[in-house]
Amino acid sequence: MAAVTLFAVPVALLVSPLVGAIVAAIGVLLILVRHNLYLTQLVQWTHEPIGTPLPHAFGVWDFVFSDLNRRSRQASEARERLSAALDRFREASQAMPDGVMYLSHTGTIEWMNYQASIDFSLDEERDRGAQVTNLVRQPDFVHYLDKGHYDEPFLFHPIHRKGAALLVQVIRFGDHRKMVISRDVSHIEKLETMRRDFVANVSHELRTPLTVVGGFLETVIDAEDDLDLADRNHYLGLALEQSGRMRRLINDLLTLSALETGAPQPAEELFDVGGIVREIGRETEALSGGRHTVVVEVDCDCKCQGSPKELHSAFANLASNAVRYTPDGGTVTLSWQLGKNGVGKYCVRDTGIGIAPEHIPRLTERFYRVDRGRSRETGGTGLGLAIVKHVLTRHQCEMKISSRLGQGSEFCVIVPAARIVSCDRPS
């Protein structure tokens, strides 16, 4: 446009100075209009979304627009890269098993991952921008955050999540901002509680018979001259009984400890399950001493793959419990049968005292007893079913318990088909 004007003005001046002036004026006007048009386009472009290209222009504007287009493209590429990096960082933070929450220098929540929202019972979207101590108001948490010494993590028990324990660690970064990391340690705390309970239980279980033995021995020593031989033998017999109880308890503890610490699995072999069940039947009759009717029903003679020693002891434990928790005159039935899908089923049914439903899920816990007194009276240690459960788990067997209070119980062991090798129905 400027070149055309520069060329047209001298030509017009040759015609007349007035025409030259008019052409020059029109030329300047057109130049102004065009600049104005590009300027307007530029202003409009600043309102467009970032990355929108400027239209093609002429002259100096072409240079300006191209330069702006290039810079805008670079800026939007950098922005995309940054946003992709931020997305990746957020995805990684979301995938973390720990809770992560960012706090501004004033303590407001800037961002949190899903786990942090669960740990602190917060809402990822709604609570962004809120003061964290207005939402998590437990005094110990507020104190830890305010006091500013974050060398040690802090064990936090959120009131909204019963039984949960979180290890909370604050890390400072940037300009007085904080990252709050929370790790769920509920299971570790539960294990610690179980360990403490276990030690307390063992100490209690051993102390009781030890006190009784001590008491009897004291009586025998103190009243040496006053006791006749029969009394003396009676007290010594009772002391012997209690020492037997301690021995049984220690044996059970050692067995359990070997099973729990992953002692090497005993060599597996093929053995006759029916034969073992019949043998346990004879042992059960001996244990009952004629006080119960013992019935043995072996449906098939199978060979089973596993440790005969361990399975014998687990199966026998269920049978001895049936005798111990069935009043005289009751019936104990041991059965072994092959299910339709090839699984083996060993059941011990009794007509004994039965178990209320609320106790059933806890019976395999160490030292869990429905009636502590009765268990002790019958020589129980409270560890039998815990040992049975471990042995069965090692053999991928499952235990099913059904019972009715006052009517009797049934403990069944399901042996997976893969362990049953061959079966013959007895003729």
Shortest CB 367 distance to ligand ADP, Å: 8
The answer to the question of residue 353 lying near ligand ADP (CB under 6 A) is yes
Of the listed pieces 223-231, 238-246, 336-344, 349-357, which binds ligand ADP according to CB under 6 A? Answer: 349-357
Phi then psi dihedrals of residue 224, to 5 deg: -55, -45
Shortest CB 409 distance to ligand ADP, Å: 4
Q: Which residue is nearest to ligand ADP (CB)?
A: 380
What is the pattern of x (binds ligand ADP, CB under 6 A) and - over residues 315-344? ------xx--x-------------------
Residue with tokens 């893969």: 418
Binding residue for ligand ADP, selected from 12, 249, 296, 385, defined by CB under 6 A = 385
Binding residue for ligand ADP, selected from 352, 390, 394, 395, defined by CB under 6 A = 352
**Secondary structure element (H or E) that encloses residue 100, with its range:** strand 99-103
* Contacts (Cβ under 8 Å, ≥6 apart) of 129: 108, 109, 110
**Secondary structure element (H or E) that encloses residue 348, with its range:** strand 344-350
Shortest CB 397 distance to ligand ADP, Å: 17
What is the pattern of x (binds ligand ADP, CB under 6 A) and - over residues 360-379? ---x----xxxx---x----
The answer to the question of residue 355 lying near ligand ADP (CB under 6 A) is yes
Burial class (CB in 10 A: 0-12, 13-18, 19+), 200: exposed
Binding residue for ligand ADP, selected from 245, 380, 392, 419, defined by CB under 6 A = 380
The answer to the question of residue 209 lying near ligand ADP (CB under 6 A) is no
Helices (H) and strands (E) in the chain, counts: 12, 13
* Contacts (Cβ under 8 Å, ≥6 apart) of 13: 19, 20
- Applying CB under 6 A, the site for ligand ADP has a residue count of 21
179: β partners? 102, 171
Strands of 331-338's sheet, edge to edge? 293-298, 331-338, 344-350, 408-415, 398-404
Shortest CB 419 distance to ligand ADP, Å: 24
Give me 284's structure tokens: 């059960």
Give me 174's structure tokens: 């940037």
Closer CB to ligand ADP, residue 369 or residue 395? 369
Give the whole-angstrom CA distance, residue 267 versus residue 309. Answer: 10
Closer CB to ligand ADP, residue 184 or residue 350? 350
Binding residue for ligand ADP, selected from 253, 384, 390, 395, defined by CB under 6 A = 384
Of the listed pieces 49-57, 100-108, 217-225, 381-389, which binds ligand ADP according to CB under 6 A? Answer: 381-389
Residue with tokens 């009794």: 350
Give the whole-angstrom CA distance, residue 338 versus residue 341. Answer: 8
Residues near ligand ADP, by CB under 6 A: 321-322, 325, 350, 352-353, 355, 363, 368-371, 375, 380-386, 409
